[in-house]
Amino acid sequence: MTGGALPGPDGKPRCPWGLSTEDYVRYHDEEWGRPVHGDDALFERLCLEAFQSGLSWITILRRREGFRRAFAGFGIAAVAEFTDADRSRLLADTGIIRNRAKIDASIANARVLAGWAPGELDALIWSYAPDPASRPVPRTVADVPPITPESASLSKALKKRGIRFVGPTTAYALMQACGLVDDHLADCVARGGAPV
């Protein structure tokens, strides 16, 4: 899919990726690209983007409530206290992606982040938001990069501080999902955070 925005079920133009399922339409219209703040909320997105690595986002989206239950609502303090029994529970939980490396990274990341000051994760991530005026507005899906210099720098900064499973592509997906960048296509009804 390299084209521009396409009409959705209501006739309004949307990014083509956001049209394949009802779940995607809702996620595209209500969440993707809208600003997310708060350490726990960003920790959740960081974990989910890591779990998505190598999979389609719809796989994660449809299991999100299972992930939230399994990971104590993604409260950093709660996940940091997970034990070997919790790890075993997660590895047996069919409501999530049972990938040992990703589960271990999520728990390890929570332990690192539990030592940070309140708001520190939010401030660090958002410090890598580029000036919107410095970025061309994407007209087609082909205009949306998989990584950017900012995502590479964010990945490097997070890794330097002990965060695992966050390469430049995962960091950029996080930036897109959490509104640090607006990669809705130029003709998309959701461009600029407009209500749909």
Report, as residue numbers or ranges, the catalytic residues: 27, 49, 57
28 Rama sector, left if φ>0, alpha if ψ -120 to 50, beta otherwise: alpha
Radius of gyration of the chain (CA): 17
- Those residues whose C-beta lies under 8 Å from the C-beta of residue 151, and which sit 6 or more positions away, are 128, 168, 169, 171, 172, 175
Q: How many residues in total does the chain contain? A: 196
DSSP letters spanning 145-164: -S--HHHHHHHHHHHHTT--
Q: Which tokens belong to 153?
A: 């720098």
State the number of CA atoms in the 13 A half-sphere of 13 facing the CB: 12
